[in-house]
Structure 1
Amino acid sequence: MPPVAVLIVDDDDAMANALAAAMMAYGCRARVAAGGRAAFAIPESWVPHVVILDIEMPEWDGFSVAKSMRGSIRFARVPILAHTSLAEAEIMERGIEAEIDAYYRKGEPLHGLFRMIEYLAPVRYL
């Protein structure tokens, strides 16, 4: 089975790159997009198994990015995980409306995030 491909969408470069390094150390393939527009600029030949999406971004917030992803052919069925410092209750209603599949709070131990990604990632064969 190929490694899980993860797209990290976060405007905080240090946070995104640290998370990508952790994902790669865990055995995933990871790419970083510095915001929602950058996520759509990644070559279309690369489709992630899971998107880890920051919610609080200045130019285009995570809810808007998720809605746009759901409206695209490329990302329509890719699980989206909100990765944010906001409390789950704060994003629950808007997250459901934006079709976000899961929530993980920034700052929590990464082993929980890895387990969540394993659960969300569909099995894909090359």
Structure 2
Amino acid sequence: MPPITLLIVDDDDAGANALAAAVMAYGCRALVAASGKAAFETPASWVPHVVILDIEMPEWDGFSVAKAMRGSSRFATVPIVAHSSLPEAEVSERGIEAEIDAYYRKGEPLRGLFRTIEYLAPVRYL
């Protein structure tokens, strides 16, 4: 079975790269984009199975990125996980409007994030 592929969108380079290393050790493949704009600059032929999206980013916050993704043919159906230090209650209402599929709090044990990724990854990769 091919590995689940992830796009990690986060302006915190150290945190994003640490998360990428952790998910790769878990058996996924990951590509890091330092901003929403950078996410759209990844190779057009590449579509991840799941997007892990920081909410608090300068210029284009995670809600704006999610809305742009939902409006694009490439990312329209890709599950999005809000990965934020903000409380879930703060993210949930705007997250529904932006069509974000799940929330995972930064700093929580990663096994929960791994379960969320496995749950959201589409079966088409099998």
Alignment of 1:1-126 (within 5 A): 1-125=1-125
Distance 1:33 1:40 in 2: 9
Deviation string for 1:45-93 (max 9, x for gaps)? 1100000000000110000000000000000000000000000000111
Unaligned runs of 5+ in 2: none
Give the aligned CA root-mean-square deviation in angstroms: 0.9
Unaligned runs of 5+ in 1: none
Divergent runs of 4+, >3 A: none
Letter in 1 for 2:53: L
8 Å CA contact 1:50, 1:80 repeated in 2: yes
TM-score (norm 1): 0.98
Distance 2:124 2:46 in 1: 13
Secondary structure at 2:32 match in 1: strand
Secondary structure at 1:32 match in 2: strand
Secondary structure at 2:123 match in 1: coil
8 Å CA contact 2:4, 2:125 repeated in 1: no
Distance 2:57 2:48 in 1: 21
**Alignment length, in residue pairs?**
126
Secondary structure at 2:124 match in 1: coil
Instruction: State percent identity of aligned pairs.
Output: 83
